Homo-oligomer: A and B are copies of this chain.
Amino acid sequence: MYTVYQEPLVSRYTSREMQYLFSEEKKFTTWRKCWLALAEAQYELGLTDLISVEMLDEMRANLDNIDYRLAQEKEREIRHDVMAHVFEFGTKCPRAEGIIHLGATSQFVVCNTDLMIQKEAMQLIRNGLLTVISQLASFCERYKALPTLGYTHYQPAQPTTVGKRNTLYLQDVLLDLKSLDRFVTDMAARGAKGTVGTQATFLELFQGDHDKVRKLDELVARKLGFTGTLPVTGQTYSRKLDIKLIEVLAGIGATAHKFAVDLRLLSNLKVQEEPFAEKQTGSSAMAYKRNPMRSERMTGLARKLMGLCADFYATYANQWFERTLDDSAIRRMDIPQAFLLTDAILKLFVNISANMVVYPNQINKHLEAELPFMTTEKILMEAVARGCSRQEMHEIIKEHSVAAGYVVKQEARDNDLLERLAADDRIPLNRSELDRLTGDYAQFTGRAARQTEEYLQEHVYPLLAQNKDSLVMIDAELSV
């Protein structure tokens, strides 16, 4: 263990549940479920001369009973994993041995299993998203009316509220959930399609009865938990569906990246911060530092997740005809990695969004420093309302603002913008009028608080209410 590379996604970042979904055990037991579903469906559709109830019972009784060593030995010998497991399953089911995998091609178990595992994995991801949504919603609610500097170009702009800013992340998470739900709703089994998708061997088994073969396909799909089966396939399901899959996951990565980068900037500004564990060491040399390590890790994981997209496009776009195997090794790595990365990201996202820290006094300090500048928009509006040309006022105010900005930057002194404006005759407002325009900060935040409320009431709470039963609490214990 210490002498071999350990994939950090497993050793460090992800949940047991997700790790299990991409384990050998999960895969091989699901293969057996596929074989059982096929045999059951074949039996139900009339192949009773080939398949007996006893065989089905035997198979059913041995779904989890796998001798991995034996399977591996066989695989080394024949260099074919599916046939090796057919063989091993056969040793457990001496009666059924001859009818396991009947009429099927390897991709019958491989593709259907892939899809079943993806479906379960999406459910885990969905739980994570719901938890994040729920927590971010509470945060937005709590801070909906707290004014804070807005930023454009990462330069101070009009104020917004802490809650309102966080609805932007929240809205993007909701988009991710919507994508995920669409993906899951669209899912269909690869079903029983045969070597190149023509169902030729099944048609022979059912002696030319098209209806029965079609029913077989659908019945197997239903038995495996799908509402439908893909209309047409080659040997595998279209790898275009894998692009859809990575879109869902990379979409979550993108949202997480935007959120984490903002949080790292906010952390520098001492405005909003991730939680910090008591024993966590800032760095070996600088004990006092409160490094946003969760957000930094989230950034890196999200970058890698987004980076996987290109693989999926290329794999689909270069599949030849009914199937080539250049998709095998890469999907074997990329699909688990994509889910594990998303899992790791959501663990962090849940952990962070549960206990984000806000520093109202620091926020005020920022507002005070930029307030005189911020008033310019209102002054401009007022001047225009009093009949001045927008264009001209814009220029005059800009001139004074730039001057005041230089004072701040060059001399590191407090800004004197209001004094300057009051002293300029071209501006139709005196000092006391200017002061009146810069009262409490909330007046600068427009509808931010109200928008936050509306967004939560109209979009988020109904969604959470709808999903309240499925909202499973996520263990977001981290090893930072």
Contacts and interface: CB of A to CB of B under 8 A. Distances in A.
A307 to B, nearest CB: 5
Interface string A179-199: 000100000000000111111
B285 A377 contact: yes
Contacts of A321: 150-152, 154, 165, 262, 265
A359 B213 contact: no
A203 B152 contact: no
A460 to B, nearest CB: 10
A232 B232 CA distance: 41
B381 A160 contact: no
B285 A201 contact: yes
Contacts of A281: 78-80, 83, 394, 398
A213 B447 contact: yes
Nearest to A378: B204
Interface in A96-127: 98, 101, 103-106
A328 B106 CA distance: 39
Contacts of A3: 19-20, 23-26
If over half of A's interface residues share one DSSP class (helix, strand or loop), that class is named, otherwise mixed; here it is helix
Contacts of A154: 264-265, 267-268, 292, 320-321, 324
A246 B18 CA distance: 29
Contacts of A451: 197-199, 231-232
B408 A270 contact: yes
A201 B387 CA distance: 17
A366 B219 CA distance: 35
B323 A313 contact: no
A364 interface: yes
Contact of A167 (B232, B308, B320): B232
A203 B200 CA distance: 54
Contacts of A40: none
A402 interface: yes
> How many chain copies?
4
A172 B292 CA distance: 27
A314 B314 contact: yes
A277 B311 CA distance: 29
A98 to B, nearest CB: 7
B152 A322 contact: yes
Nearest to A82: B284
Contacts of A204: 378, 381, 446
A374 B381 CA distance: 45
Interface in A437-473: 444-448, 450-452, 454-455, 458-459
Contacts of A233: 168
A436 interface: no
Closest 8 CB pairs of A and B: A288-B401, A200-B446, A287-B398, A198-B446, A361-B412, A150-B196, A257-B317, A299-B326
Given A195-B286, A287-B376, A301-B330, 16 more contacts: A101-B390, A150-B234, A151-B321, A152-B286, A154-B321, A155-B289, A161-B198, A175-B244, A182-B182, A232-B451, A240-B258, A250-B313, A288-B373, A288-B404, A304-B333, A362-B412
